């Protein structure tokens, strides 16, 4: 079979089982778009901005575990995609980005829409390629998918000069069935000796703590994590990225940890004597002040990336390997062993945790006559029975979503944890909804974040993705305002969102349903009504309390045991 | 501590900038970096001299290993190894000083590559201590120009870094 470059790409995507490609056409990819037009196995989703293409592909990837695929043109097409590529990179999301490049003979001449795309993306991709010949094209695509999806996943970019996709230049096509890369061999199996050492330490714990992260979600190891946690009866906390890997509704789950984690999770981190870190990377938003981190704990760390081990926190028992395999091995060893941690010690540890839980660190005023943002998230949780796919943008609403929407399943909570990208929520929800057409998909956002990719309301209409947008509108960049309140004596420098659009009319002008809700008593019914419109995108503009802060909070320089708690207390 | 790290990487365009980009992006110190193809034309060999705590060096090695273009690497500082660098130095050479310079060059086993009425270009090979000692001997006031290749290194004995 002889194919042109554009056809090679389409065949390669088909071989990779690609269902959707998110993109935006332009000069350097015209040949590719022509090949795309003449096939029907890969469906193209036309976004309104390339950043959204990467976020949509990202949402697709996070919710399915399959790589997201993006197609953009050279120059501004590629630079617009960079934010989304970096977002995927920081959260280790498998993604393949195909970018057009100016013709080979023009590279380096400052040609129209030329940018050194491989150079610009280098620090925010797992790897990238500039395809140098049509003969190497198919094998490069194969490598790109292999690198993106194996080991610690990540985005891979393939830059294709336009001349390689000229329709009348054809090469014999054969898609390789495996990849040979002498310089790339991701670790798979954890070292048995280390696993044994870890289990010995775990079984000797008096105040144990399991801390799991996004690696468990990415590594599809939720089942194994549940098995180990239940077998041991230990308390477990998750990072922002790890939510859902262990059910929020399970009693052993003591909530999220870190800057806006629960009081009990952070106190337990501080006091524990054995910490089992699984697929987590000791990010600064998790550890608080590193000098004060887990002062009494011996630490086990399971991660697929050797560079994550002892990067921020030096650990006692490192295990490099695939989390599901390592956890399977741990569960087997624990079940074989007759040893168990001292039950009396464990009971008193749980009793201590219970006391911390009594602090009710997520409590807020439910009697207020203005809508509390937390109440909206709780209402959504009740109405969707905790079973929706939730995307979010970045800021206070993201934290409230994480705190108040109890995720019981992995891959349901889709947010930009590492890069913290405002504008992520709506486009990523499009990717999620396309991957799960029957599911309820809600985007919890704020009036600042939503405006960073608001143009995608148009994409929602074109592809009929009935997303429910929950806009927690406090007329502030809430998280910025909160930090200014705490750290800058309430000098609210440029955190006020002035001249906001009428979101109801805006939604309507894009062909969607718009709703404005400003009374606490209307929240439940409005959400029910929106959810009943199963074939419509609904923009719900909730006018919320401007002064509400995210509590509890670990401020800069503080440890887990020094949380700032909500000054509001439930009246006795 | 000073570490000499040898890296075998794919001889492909962009591979060098992946390594140098890693160092600048993560704020790692880089004292010198040399790179050239090996007897296998598909591979380049790079020698990086860096300074950092043991933990920092461990991270550098892990991060280098993560780069897809890096095939193999070794921290030469952990074994017996030979380090060599080549330097060419242009010095003021006038009057009585000319003879003294010639003698010093012989003592350090250097070579004079170029002679004018008022200057020499001297070639010297050695590790960084030897090169520093020679520059000291020459005296800053006599030095017109210095060009150094950066260090290269190889392990002693049968141990080797190859694919």
Asked whether the predicted pLDDT for residue B13 surpasses 90, the reply is no
Please answer yes or no on whether B62 and A118 come within 8 Å at the CB atom: no
Does the interface ipTM go beyond 0.90?
Answer: yes
Q: What value does the mean pLDDT take over residues A353-382?
A: 97
Which three-class secondary structure state does DSSP give residue A446?
Answer: strand
Each residue of A327-346: pLDDT tens digit? 999 999 999 999 999 999 99
Each residue of A458-503: pLDDT tens digit? 999 999 999 999 999 999 999 999 999 999 999 999 998 889 999 9
Quick one: tokens of A571? Answer: 């009246």
Nearest CB to B25: which of A123, A306, A309?
A: A123
The angle that helices A478-487 and A396-404 make with each other, rounded to 10 degrees, is: 100
Please give the interface size between A and B, counted as residue pairs whose CB atoms are below 8 Å apart. 38
d(CA A353, CA A347): 10
Q: What is the pLDDT of residue B49?
A: 97
B65 vs A contacts (CB less than 8 Å): 306-307
Please answer yes or no on whether A181 and B68 come within 8 Å at the CB atom: yes
Contacts of B85 (CB under 8 A, 6+ apart): B32, B125, B126, B127, B128, B131, B148, B149, B150, B151, B152
Residue B79 and residue B4 in contact, taking contact as beta carbons nearer than 8 Å: no
Q: Is A129 a catalytic residue?
A: no
Helix (H) or strand (E) holding B43: strand B43-51
User: How does DSSP classify residue A162?
Assistant: G
Please answer yes or no on whether B59 and A307 come within 8 Å at the CB atom: yes
Give the rounded percent of residues in chain B with a pLDDT score beyond 90. 95
Q: What value does the mean pLDDT take over residues B53-81?
A: 96
Quick one: tokens of A450? Answer: 């939503």
Residue B39 and residue A284 in contact, taking contact as beta carbons nearer than 8 Å: no
Quick one: tokens of A452? Answer: 């960073």
Q: How far is CA A529 from the centre of its chain?
A: 28
Neighbours of B34 (CB within 10 A): 17
Residue written as tokens 């294709």?
A160
Nearest CB to A122: which of B18, B58, B71?
A: B18
Please answer yes or no on whether A183 and B62 come within 8 Å at the CB atom: no
Asked whether the predicted pLDDT for residue A569 surpasses 90, the reply is no
Strand spans (E) along A32-67 = 43-46
Residue A302 and residue A323 in contact, taking contact as beta carbons nearer than 8 Å: yes
Put simply, whether B32 touches A (Cβ < 8 Å) is no
d(CA A55, CA A428): 5
Computed over every residue of chain A, the mean pLDDT equals: 97
Put simply, whether B56 touches A (Cβ < 8 Å) is no
Put simply, whether B129 touches A (Cβ < 8 Å) is no
Please answer yes or no on whether A182 and B163 come within 8 Å at the CB atom: yes
d(CA A10, CA A18): 9
Phi, psi of A555 (to 5 degrees): -85, 165
The residue among A273, A268, A294, A274 whose CA lies nearest residue A282 is A294
The residue among A356, A117, A123, A332 whose CA lies nearest residue A228 is A332
Neighbours of B18 (CB within 10 A): 21
Phi, psi of A413 (to 5 degrees): -110, 110
d(CA A341, CA A208): 9
B10 vs A contacts (CB less than 8 Å): 183
Asked whether the predicted pLDDT for residue B41 surpasses 90, the reply is yes
Q: Is A224 a catalytic residue?
A: no
The angle that helices A192-203 and A323-336 make with each other, rounded to 10 degrees, is: 50
Each residue of A130-188: pLDDT tens digit? 999 999 999 999 999 999 999 999 999 999 999 999 999 999 999 999 998 999 999 88
d(CA B105, CA A102): 53
Asked whether the predicted pLDDT for residue A571 surpasses 80, the reply is no
pLDDT band at A570 (very low <50, low <70, confident <90, very high): confident
Please answer yes or no on whether B17 and A122 come within 8 Å at the CB atom: yes
On whether the pTM is more than 0.90, the answer is: yes
Catalytic residue among A112, A354, A519, A528: A112
A122 vs B contacts (CB less than 8 Å): 14, 17-18, 21
Give the rounded percent of residues in chain A with a pLDDT score beyond 90. 98
Q: What value does the mean pLDDT take over residues A90-112?
A: 97
d(CA A525, CA A81): 39
Asked whether the predicted pLDDT for residue B76 surpasses 90, the reply is yes
End-to-end CA distance of chain A: 78
A183 vs B contacts (CB less than 8 Å): 9-10, 68-71
A10-19 b/e with 16+ CB inside 10 Å = b?
bbbbebbebe
Strand spans (E) along A321-463 = 389-392, 413-414, 441-446
pLDDT band at A446 (very low <50, low <70, confident <90, very high): very high
Q: What is the pLDDT of residue A188?
A: 80
Starting from the edge strand earliest in sequence, which strands make up the sheet with A538-543, in order?
A413-414, A389-392, A441-446, A468-473, A538-543, A513-517
A147 vs B contacts (CB less than 8 Å): 68
Residue A470 and residue A531 in contact, taking contact as beta carbons nearer than 8 Å: no
d(CA A425, CA A390): 9
Closest CA of chain B from A341, distance in Å = 33
Interface test with A, best of B40, B43, B66, B70 (most A CBs within 10 A): B66
Handedness of CA B115, B120, B123, B124 (dihedral sign): positive
Residue A165 and residue A4 in contact, taking contact as beta carbons nearer than 8 Å: yes
Handedness of CA A333, A339, A342, A343 (dihedral sign): positive
Nearest CB to A183: which of B13, B63, B69?
A: B69
Closest CA of chain B from A560, distance in Å = 24
A311 vs B contacts (CB less than 8 Å): 59
Radius of gyration of chain B (CA): 18
Q: How far is CA A239 from the centre of its chain?
A: 11
Residue A369 and residue A520 in contact, taking contact as beta carbons nearer than 8 Å: yes
- As to burial, measured by CB atoms within 10 angstroms (0-12 exposed, 13-18 middle, 19+ buried), residue A86 is buried
Give the rounded percent of residues in chain B with a pLDDT score beyond 70. 100
Give the rounded percent of residues in chain A with a pLDDT score beyond 70. 100
Q: Write the CA distances from A289 to A131, A236, A294, A299, A562, integer angstroms.
A: 44, 21, 10, 17, 10
Across-strand partners of A393? none
User: How does DSSP classify residue A251?
Assistant: T
Q: Is A112 a catalytic residue?
A: yes
Put simply, whether B162 touches A (Cβ < 8 Å) is no
Put simply, whether B9 touches A (Cβ < 8 Å) is yes
Each residue of B95-149: pLDDT tens digit? 988 999 999 999 999 999 999 999 999 999 999 999 999 999 999 999 999 999 9
Q: What is the pLDDT of residue A303?
A: 97
Neighbours of A323 (CB within 10 A): 28
Handedness of CA A26, A29, A32, A36 (dihedral sign): negative
Residue written as tokens 């019914």?
A525
A306 vs B contacts (CB less than 8 Å): 62, 65-66
Q: What is the pLDDT of residue B124?
A: 98
User: How does DSSP classify residue A136?
Assistant: G
Q: What is the pLDDT of residue A268?
A: 98
Which three-class secondary structure state does DSSP give residue A52?
Answer: helix
Q: What value does the mean pLDDT take over residues A53-73?
A: 98
CA within 13 Å, CB half, A478: 28
Interface test with B, best of A180, A183, A184 (most B CBs within 10 A): A183
The residue among B64, B57, B113 whose CA lies nearest residue B90 is B113
């Amino acid at each position: 079979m002889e194919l042109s470059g554009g056809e090679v790409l389409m065949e390669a995507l088909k071989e990779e089982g690609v269902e959707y490609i998110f993109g935006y056409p332009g000069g350097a990819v015209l040949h590719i778009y022509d090949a795309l037009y003449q096939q029907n196995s890969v469906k193209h989703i036309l976004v309104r901005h390339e950043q959204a293409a990467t976020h949509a592909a990202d949402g697709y990837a996070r919710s399915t575990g399959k790589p997201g695929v993006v197609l953009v043109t050279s120059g501004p097409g590629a630079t617009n995609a960079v934010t989304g590529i970096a977002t995927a990179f920081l959260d280790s999301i498998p993604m393949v980005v195909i970018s057009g490049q100016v013709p080979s003979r023009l590279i380096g001449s400052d040609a129209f829409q030329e940018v050194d795309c491989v150079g610009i993306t280098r620090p925010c991709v797992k790897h990238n390629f500039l395809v140098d010949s049509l003969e190497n094209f198919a094998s490069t695509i194969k490598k790109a998918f292999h690198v993106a999806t194996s080991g610690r996943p990540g985005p891979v970019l393939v830059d294709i000069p336009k001349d390689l996709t000229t329709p009348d230049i054809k090469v014999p096509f054969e898609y390789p069935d495996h990849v040979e890369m002498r310089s790339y061999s991701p670790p798979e199996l954890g070292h048995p000796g280390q696993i044994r050492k870890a289990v010995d330490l775990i079984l000797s714990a008096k105040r144990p703590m399991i801390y799991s992260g996004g690696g468990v979600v990415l590594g599809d190891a939720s089942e194994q994590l549940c098995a180990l946690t239940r077998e041991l009866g230990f308390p477990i906390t998750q990072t922002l990225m790890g939510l859902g890997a262990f059910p929020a509704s399970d009693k052993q789950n003591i909530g999220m940890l870190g800057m806006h984690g629960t009081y009990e999770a952070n106190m337990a981190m501080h006091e524990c004597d054995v910490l089992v870190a699984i697929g987590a990377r000791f990010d600064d938003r998790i550890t608080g002040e590193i000098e004060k981190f887990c002062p009494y704990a011996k630490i086990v760390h399971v991660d697929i990336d050797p560079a994550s081990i002892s990067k921020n926190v030096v650990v006692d028992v490192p295990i490099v390997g695939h989390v599901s395999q390592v956890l399977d091995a741990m569960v087997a060893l624990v079940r074989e062993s007759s040893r168990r941690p001292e039950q009396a010690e464990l009971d008193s540890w749980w009793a201590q945790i219970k006391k911390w839980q009594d602090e009710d660190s997520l409590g807020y005023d439910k009697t207020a006559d203005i809508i509390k943002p937390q109440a909206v998230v709780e209402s959504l949780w009740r109405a969707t029975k905790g079973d929706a796919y939730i995307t979010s943008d970045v800021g206070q609403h993201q934290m409230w979503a994480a705190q108040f929407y109890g995720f019981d399943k992995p891959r349901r909570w889709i947010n930009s944890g590492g890069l913290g990208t405002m504008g992520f929520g709506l486009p990523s929800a499009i990717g999620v909804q396309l991957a799960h057409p029957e599911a309820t998909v809600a985007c919890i956002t704020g009036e600042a974040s939503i405006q960073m990719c608001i143009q995608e309301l148009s994409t929602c209409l074109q592809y009929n993705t009935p997303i429910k947008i929950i806009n927690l509108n406090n007329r502030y960049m809430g998280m910025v305002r909160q930090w200014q309140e705490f750290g800058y004596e309430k000098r609210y420098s440029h955190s006020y969102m002035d001249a906001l659009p009428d979101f109801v009319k805006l939604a309507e002008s894009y062909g969607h349903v718009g709703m404005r809700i400003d009374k606490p008593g209307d929240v439940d019914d409005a959400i029910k009504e929106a959810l009943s419109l199963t074939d419509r995108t609904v923009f719900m503009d909730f006018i919320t309390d401007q002064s509400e802060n995210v509590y509890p909070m670990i401020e800069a320089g503080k440890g887990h045991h020094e949380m700032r708690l909500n000054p509001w207390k439930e009246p006795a | 501590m000073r570490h000499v790290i040898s890296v075998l990487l794919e001889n492909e365009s962009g591979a060098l900038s992946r390594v140098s980009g890693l160092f600048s992006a993560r704020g790692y110190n880089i004292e010198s970096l040399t790179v050239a193809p090996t007897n296998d034309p598909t591979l380049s060999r790079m020698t990086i001299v860096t300074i950092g705590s043991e933990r920092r060096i461990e991270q550098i090695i892990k991060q280098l290993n993560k780069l897809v273009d890096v095939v193999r690497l070794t921290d030469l500082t952990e074994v017996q190894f030979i380090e060599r660098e080549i330097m060419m130095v242009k010095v003021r050479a006038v009057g009585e000083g000319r003879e003294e310079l010639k003698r010093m060059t012989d003592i350090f086993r250097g070579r004079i590559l170029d002679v004018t009425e008022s200057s020499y270009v001297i070639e010297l090979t050695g590790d960084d201590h030897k090169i520093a000692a020679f520059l000291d001997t020459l005296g800053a006031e006599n030095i017109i120009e210095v060009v150094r290749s950066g260090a290269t290194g190889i392990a002693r004995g049968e141990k080797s870094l190859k694919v």
